[in-house]
Amino acid sequence: MRIVCISDTHNRLDKMKIPPGDLLLHAGDLTGRGSLDELQRVDQQLATLPHRHKVIIAGNHDWGFQREPAAARELIQSAVYLQDSEVTIQGLRIYGSPWQPWFLDWAFNGARGGSLKPIWDRIPAGIDILITHGPPLGHGDQLARGGRAGCPELLDAIRRVRPRYHIFGHIHEAYGITQEGVTTCINASSCDLRYQPVQPPVVIDWPPQ
């Protein structure tokens, strides 16, 4: 199975060249402000993509999923939406969560200092792919202005659960791939710091070679 990973498309999904595959994973920030109109357009754009399976989570820009969750979820007809939940696709266990440590007063923020630990404690053992919007501490979280935005409690959860892949975004300038033990950490942010969708999707094959 070929898996295509993207994140932080910010209403620019239709401007991207997305390679074909069997499964599309989107790690949040589908929109600019998360209005229901934006989410409807995103769903229409997702419907045009050829991937048989599509899985998305919300990001800190996707306010609709936090402020009007029932209406936002109803608009998503072209993908499986995960929010602290799991789906199995062709035997592949995928768990998704939108949260990140406090960042510029956006959606799905949790205070630093352990407030997100109960959320990460719910990530079940045995999952193959973890999708979060924010990065773990030390992986794909380096800010251009200095410092790191990653979550230390999420890093602890990765070390506990040991998924084969962790897909995230949020920090546009930290796009790339790193390794944490058995887990390949992928910051799949599609937009750069100027919100231009110039960073290519990351493609992986399952099962890994």
Arithmetic mean of pLDDT, 90-119: 92
CA dihedral 44, 49, 51, 57 (to 10 degrees): -50
Residue 125 has pLDDT above 90, yes or no: yes
- Phi and psi at 23, nearest 5°, equal -140, 130
Return the pLDDT at 96: 98
Return the pLDDT at 209: 76
Residue 50 has pLDDT above 80, yes or no: yes
Pairing status of strand 165-168 against strand 129-132: parallel
Cα–Cα distance measured from residue 170 to residue 182, given in angstroms and rounded to the nearest whole number: 22
Residue 170's SS3 state is coil
**Total count of domains within the chain:** 1
Return the pLDDT at 20: 97
Helix locations, 34-141, DSSP H: 36-47, 64-67, 69-75, 117-121
User: Distances from the Cα of 101 to the Cαs of 113, 133, 167, in angstroms?
Assistant: 9, 10, 17
Cβ–Cβ < 8 Å for 73, 58:
no
Q: What is the CATH number of the domain that holds 88?
A: 3.60.21.10
Structural domain including 152 reads: 2-205
Return the pLDDT at 206: 95
Q: Considering the entire predicted model, what is its pTM?
A: 0.97
